[in-house]
Amino acid sequence: MQEYPEEIDVNSWEEFEQQLTDLREHVNSPESAALSMLFRGQENSCWPLATTLERSNQLEMLFQDYYRLISRVKPQVESFTGNEWQIPGYPEVERLVQEYDAFSADLTFGRLPGYPYMAYLRHHGFPSPLLDWTRSSNIAAYFAFSKADDEMDDRKVSIYVFSAAASQGGGNRKPQMCRLGPYARTHRRHFLQQCEYTMCVIFKEDWRFEGYQKAFDARNKPGACWKFNIPSTERLKVLKSLDEYNLNAFSLFDSEEALMETMSLRELYFR
């Protein structure tokens, strides 16, 4: 039986690029595949797909409990940032999640209550049920290699490639992986990094968050997923190649710290 995500070991960056070209042609035409695929880079191939909420040991938190949590911190976030987010009140969300069909349809079509606010929190380190992806394989490569350990020959980074299914099916006690789309008025990094997000949930008496591996192990899979493992020793070569297209820390984060990181790489390693 095929395991998901399907793991593919490659020996170089160039081999990954060729495999990705072949994969696009296999999934569909290169143009339509590029529109449907999402990418995620991780600096350690041993790490699973997991949200920051899951890494905080809060995997099975109820959706309404998480919403109450982010509603509680919202005045503090708004006071510090000067931003305001219009989100539904907690009683409204509590009623919404009790209507299984309506809330399931909202998730299917990317209508997540408080989505822009949740995306902002995700970009600034607050534990989140959103898993961030990018529509660019090169941006995913930057995130895979930027902090990778390239001093050990046996270390690998991973780039995940996800192609969503046209329909997952659904129902009680079946994991549902929701693709939330790019259209959100949120932090500028969302647009610089060509972000999209997914959220994995399940209905068991209440809507709660679920692990991604359980979604991929389910009979009705959310789509096809491949995990490419690339040697970490390719790090400087890949980062230099990306920097030649002005894809670097500064272009993706637009901060003073990111500028210093970009200049240090150029001066110390790329010249």
Are the C-beta atoms of residues 117 and 87 closer than 8 Å to each other? yes
Are the C-beta atoms of residues 10 and 158 closer than 8 Å to each other? no
Q: Is 173 exposed, middle or buried (0-12, 13-18, 19+ CB in 10 A)?
A: exposed
Return the closest-CA partner of residue 6 out of 182, 223, 194.
223
Per the domain annotation, does 1 fall within a domain? Answer: no
- What is the band of 57 on the pLDDT scale with cuts at 50, 70, 90? confident
pLDDT tens digits for 177-203? 888 888 888 888 889 999 999 999 988
Q: How many domains does the chain have?
A: 1
Q: What is the pLDDT of residue 168?
A: 55
Per the domain annotation, does 218 fall within a domain? Answer: yes
Q: What is the pLDDT of residue 176?
A: 85
Q: What is the pLDDT of residue 28?
A: 65
196 φ/ψ sector (left φ>0, alpha ψ -120 to 50, else beta): beta
Residue 145 reports pLDDT greater than 60: yes
Q: Which domain holds residue 103?
A: 6-270
Are the C-beta atoms of residues 63 and 97 closer than 8 Å to each other? yes
Q: What is the pLDDT of residue 33?
A: 45
Whether the model clears a pTM of 0.85, i.e. scores above it, the answer is: yes
Dihedral of CA 56/61/63/64: which sign? negative
Residue 13 reports pLDDT greater than 60: yes
| Arithmetic mean of pLDDT, 157-167 | 84
State how far the Cα of 192 lies from the Cα of 195, in Å rounded to an integer: 8
State how far the Cα of 20 lies from the Cα of 49, in Å rounded to an integer: 20
Per the domain annotation, does 202 fall within a domain? Answer: yes
Residue 32 reports pLDDT greater than 70: no
Per the domain annotation, does 212 fall within a domain? Answer: yes
